[in-house]
Chains A and B, each alone.
Chain A
Amino acid sequence: MGSEEILAQLTDIVREVLEDETLVLRPDMTAEDVPGWDSMAHINIIVASEIQFGIKFRAAETEELRDVGGFVELIEAKLP
């Protein structure tokens, strides 16, 4: 799965968690740029991503995420 496809699926996840159908994610965006993406939402996004992609993050990895692009790269690196 390529980074574009991962970004598309991640966008769907974030839309569902934040209940915002219009949200568009870009690699350079941070949680600060997305209304409602706070610490609680972050956990829900992480957990939903693990289920969606069949992967598992370490706690430290989730704390170190800086932007959407980094999140996509991390998912890509963990995919079998």
Chain B
Amino acid sequence: MAGSPMTSPGTARAPREAIILGSRSIGVAEQASFAALAADRNPIHTDAAAARRSMVGSVVVHGAHTLLWSLDLLAGGEFRPAAVGSIDARFPKPLYLDERAECRLEPRADGSLMLRVQVAEKVVATILVGTSPTPTPAAEPDAGSLADAAPLDAAPRETDLDRIEGERGVLITGGPAAEYGRRFPQAAALLGDALLRDIGGCSRLVGMICPGRWSLFSRLIVFPRPGREGEGLRYHVAGYDDRFRLLRIDVAGGAMAAKIEAFSPPPPVAQPDISTLAGTVNPGEFAAQRALVVGGSRGLGALTAKLLAAGGAEVHLTYASGVQDAQALAGEIGRHSGRAACHRFDVLETRPEDLMRALPPITHLYYFATGPIFQAKRRSYDPVLLESFTRFYVTAFFELCQAAWQAADGIGLSIFYPSSVAVAERPKELVEYAMAKAAGEILCQEMPRLFRGMTINVERLPRLLTDQTASVVPQSLPDPSAKVVAILRKMNAGR
């Protein structure tokens, strides 16, 4: 054991103004290593394809990992507290792999220490470290037997939320405490490595057990106490708020008591299958379309591909990274006697001429390529972010249209460009996105003058229910099917 908890009262020194304790990014290898240590292999941490379809949209660093790294920085620095009475960590935004996070220590009027972990302006964790002794919560979960606990290699649990309130259980924490001490030596010296392992165990509890497969760790409040080895964690779901799918969980381990708040977001939005969608279009009404659907493996692109195929079109859909989704979609269309093929095409990497060589001349192009819309901003107006969006929604779009028009060789080409209501509404977090879409709209007005026989339809789409707009908050967003059918018919008419 690398150290035991310091419980003597002490007055923490705090900086007069915020200081940066350190910065770093976490890559794939380190992420996998922590997932193994904590035995939290929830797909949002370990599986890029599954994470892409989830509410967070990409692989996310474990909140517990961010917390332990931050505590290690604090414990190894000039403002190391003499004692820690409580740790209150919130995780308001996801930290993605390879994002460079900065840990700042901020002074607080009450003498506590505030760690704030940020990627540019995006706050991914706030950690309030109380330096005065804090009573451990009186009510603790009943003891359970580790013999009843799920094995460490079990798959993440699919929880029945209707029966979650009041659930009690016990879980085995992950790798040895000494390994936590080796990875976070300063934090272990201050808090004891058994406590670090218990914190890692909370990650496993949320990500693998309760709520398990569909989970987001929102808050962890830790009350350290003298550490004992090898007891696992006992938990009790003290409350479940079905309005927000929010769980409150009491936890007790050998080295701590804790309170957890975690969300259980709904599973990814499932598109209606093609058999269902076939009832919304007329047989053969899109048979004249040989359509290229860029970004067709999910969301509105996938829905467009299905509806086109249901109406008799020959569909070529592209994917950048979701090969399994794309192949599954093409298979579904094929089983419905539709015509579909999928092609890898990353609008930022693949030369559009190379894609066109793999295709017969197309008559219709639907451009649903998109990257993460809600990205970390470096400042109120972020030119780097604007450039990123502009490459997606303007430059790459133009180059693809040009290549498709050349390949069409005079047969005519109809293009659909999905703009956004954000152009007019301009939500604060989406200024650069709105600017790029506005530029795309202007380009769409110009291109028919540059390329004879090209027609372009532009629609400012509202928020529709897709992977990218999924939220833990219940939403009443409209089903996008009717909107997409209307677009396809408009494209059919060549207007």
For chain A residues 5-42, which have a beta carbon within 8 Å of chain B? 17, 19, 21, 32, 35-36, 38-42
Which residues of chain B are near A19, meaning CB under 8 Å? 90, 114, 116, 126, 128
The reply to whether A32 and B428 form a contact with Cβ atoms under 8 Å apart is yes
Which residues of chain B are near A21, meaning CB under 8 Å? 108-109
Say yes or no for B297: interface residue by CB 8 A criterion.
no
- Stretch of B183-191, B340-348, B438-446, B470-478 contacting A (4+ beta carbons < 8 Å): B470-478
Say yes or no for B381: interface residue by CB 8 A criterion.
no
Which residues of chain B are near A62, meaning CB under 8 Å? 243
Q: Taking the nearest CB of chain A, how far is it from the CB of B429, in angstroms?
A: 8
The reply to whether A32 and B427 form a contact with Cβ atoms under 8 Å apart is yes
The reply to whether A47 and B244 form a contact with Cβ atoms under 8 Å apart is yes
Which residues of chain A are near B219, meaning CB under 8 Å? 44
Q: Taking the nearest CB of chain B, how far is it from the CB of A41, in angstroms?
A: 6
Q: How far is the CA of A38 from the CA of B374 in the complex (A)?
A: 12
The reply to whether B241 and A47 form a contact with Cβ atoms under 8 Å apart is yes
- Chain B residue at smallest Cβ distance from A41: B92
Q: Taking the nearest CB of chain B, how far is it from the CB of A33, in angstroms?
A: 8
The reply to whether B116 and A40 form a contact with Cβ atoms under 8 Å apart is no
Whether A43 touches B473, Cβ cut-off 8 Å, given contacts A21-B109, A36-B123, A38-B92, is: yes
Say yes or no for B246: interface residue by CB 8 A criterion.
yes
Q: How far is the CA of A24 from the CA of B468 in the complex (A)?
A: 32
Bin chain B's interface residue count: 20 to 34
The reply to whether A59 and B474 form a contact with Cβ atoms under 8 Å apart is yes
Q: Taking the nearest CB of chain A, how far is it from the CB of B203, in angstroms?
A: 18
Which residues of chain A are near B218, meaning CB under 8 Å? 40, 44
Whether A39 touches B472, Cβ cut-off 8 Å, given contacts A19-B116, A47-B241, is: yes
Interface of A is mostly: helix
Which residues of chain B are near A44, meaning CB under 8 Å? 90, 218-219, 261
Which residues of chain A are near B90, meaning CB under 8 Å? 17, 19, 44
Which residues of chain B are near A35, meaning CB under 8 Å? 121
- Chain A residue at smallest Cβ distance from B127: A19
Which residues of chain B are near A38, meaning CB under 8 Å? 92-93
Report A's interface with B, CB cutoff 8 A. 17, 19, 21, 32, 35-36, 38-44, 46-47, 59, 62-63
The reply to whether B243 and A39 form a contact with Cβ atoms under 8 Å apart is no
Q: How far is the CA of A36 from the CA of B126 in the complex (A)?
A: 11
- Chain A residue at smallest Cβ distance from B476: A63
Which residues of chain A are near B93, meaning CB under 8 Å? 38, 40
* Residue of B109, B126, B473, B476 most packed against chain A (CB within 10 A): B473
- Chain B residue at smallest Cβ distance from A20: B126
Interface flags, B190-228, vs A, CB<8A=1, else 0: 000000000000000000000000000011000000000
Which residues of chain B are near A42, meaning CB under 8 Å? 473
Q: Taking the nearest CB of chain A, how far is it from the CB of B107, in angstroms?
A: 10
Q: Taking the nearest CB of chain B, how far is it from the CB of A66, in angstroms?
A: 15
Q: Taking the nearest CB of chain B, how far is it from the CB of A44, in angstroms?
A: 7
Interface flags, B397-424, vs A, CB<8A=1, else 0: 0000000000000000000000000000
Residue of B114, B243, B428, B472 near A40 (CB, 8 A) is B472
Given contacts A19-B90, A38-B93, A47-B246, 9 further A-B contacts (CB under 8 A): A21-B108, A39-B472, A43-B246, A43-B472, A44-B219, A44-B261, A47-B244, A59-B474, A63-B476
Q: Taking the nearest CB of chain A, how far is it from the CB of B113, in angstroms?
A: 12
Q: Taking the nearest CB of chain B, how far is it from the CB of A58, in angstroms?
A: 8
The reply to whether B92 and A59 form a contact with Cβ atoms under 8 Å apart is no
Whether A59 touches B243, Cβ cut-off 8 Å, given contacts A21-B109, A36-B92, is: yes
